[in-house]
Amino acid sequence: MKPIHVGLLGFGTVGGGTFQVLARNQEEISRRAGRRIEVKAVCRRDLEAARALVGDSVNVVADPMAIVNDPDIDIVVELIGGESVAKDVVMAAIAAGKHVVTANKALLALHGNEVFAAAQAKGVMVAFEAAVAGGVPIIKTLRESLAGNRIEWVAGIINGTTNFILSEMRSKGLSFEVVLKEAQRLGYAEADPTFDVEGVDAAHKLTLLSSIAFGVPVQFDKAHVEGISQLQAVDIKYAEQLGYRIKLLGITRRRDELGGIELRVHPTLVPANRLIANVEGAMNAVMVQADAAGTTLYYGKGAGAEPTASSVVADLVDVTRLATADPDHRVPHLAFQPDQVQRIPVLPMSGVRSSYYLRLRVADETGVLSRITTILAENDISIDAVLQRESFEGERQTDLIILTHTTVEERMDRAQEFMQSLPSVLAPIARIRKEDLA
């Protein structure tokens, strides 16, 4: 049978890893796909560097449209990243009737509805396992393995850079700024780490997971996004004393009683005895709560040349297997049939239910705790635990740590405003949401 011909757009870390995995495991991959998958062309601005890697048997070009317009290319693999150029070449590939494999979470989080609609109309596939959690097969799991389940919630550590930073802050007691510099030195963080440390990258990925889990359009603009750049080492220490660890989690949850879903990324206290709380370093992990399967956890490397290439090649195998299938009987891009995708609203954060960690820097004087607990009670917020740092001799202020039971975010907003206005509260209140994930 004629081989499937692939064009790689972008031949950096992941593109090079994809080429190597295909070459190394060609026999195994062919047996699984039913036919050979061959890289016919690669696109990279540095032509000589690309030729040094692929040899003379593969065409090397600098213009991505040369691959899109090549009639011998069956599948276009987009590994350029970003939005503008990537969107143009993906839409052009679809218009040319070519299947697409991409690792571009930003492209799909922001323009996925348009991309998937175009692919559906043209009868081609867009596969994107590598766009979320690198080598962790969470897209296929949600879309296929859990297809018989009603998904209740998905929660994940889906950015390795922030998980590395939080792990180092906890284990070494260092500040965010110090660990960020180390992460950059080791190559875990970019020179401009904003997308990672401010939670944007995780929100791109969560947007896709939410769409697949609940059968809704991709709607990144509705996500609540908080990063870790303002997180203090002292809060990580106090959380540890209380039996919790702080992780940057992406959480999407079905809220039938409110007719919507939650879509949020933020630092979160997780009980230290939960498996996901013990995911350290640059690793990723995603938990899924489903009605039939129960709670499952998916763990692995979220980035890197070969882990991400593993997902790219798996998509190539899937597309190859399904290339001759009737388009109406392929696995839908977002798991649900296109005419069954629902416009379920994303809930505002004011309606989200959570429990909270509060750290208040207060004057060490009589009656402070009483005034604070009164404010919480007046807003129907009950207290789970209180920790007060012992003051040193002569010190006139201390840290007061409060864990609350579950409440509605707008109540906490109101209570925090009142507490912050007290003369005895001497600094901005630190607040972190808490999830049991059980």
Give strand pairing partners of 151. 290
Q: What does the alpha-carbon distance between residue 345 and residue 326 come to, in Å, rounded to a whole number?
A: 32
Written as six digits, the tokens of 16 are 């090079």
Beta carbons of 430 and 372 less than 8 angstroms apart: no
The question of whether 2 is a catalytic residue gets the answer no
Q: Which residues contact 279 (CB under 8 A, 6 or more apart)?
A: 157, 163, 247, 285, 299
Written as six digits, the tokens of 59 are 């065409």
Name the packing angle between helices 305-322 and 13-24 (round to 10°). Answer: 60
Q: Exactly one of 87, 205, 247, 434 is catalytic; which is it?
A: 205
Question: What is the number of other CB atoms lying within 10 angstroms of the CB of residue 56?
Answer: 7
* DSSP for 138-179, written as a single string: HHHIIIIITTTS-EEEEEEE--HHHHHHHHHHHHH---HHHH
- Chain-centroid distance of CA 357 in Å reads 23
CA distances from 282 to 83, 160, 302, 304, 352 (A): 25, 4, 7, 10, 29
Residue 251: strand, helix, or coil: strand
Beta carbons of 346 and 219 less than 8 angstroms apart: yes
CB-count burial class (<10 Å; 0-12, 13-18, 19+) for 362 = buried
Active-site residue numbers? 205
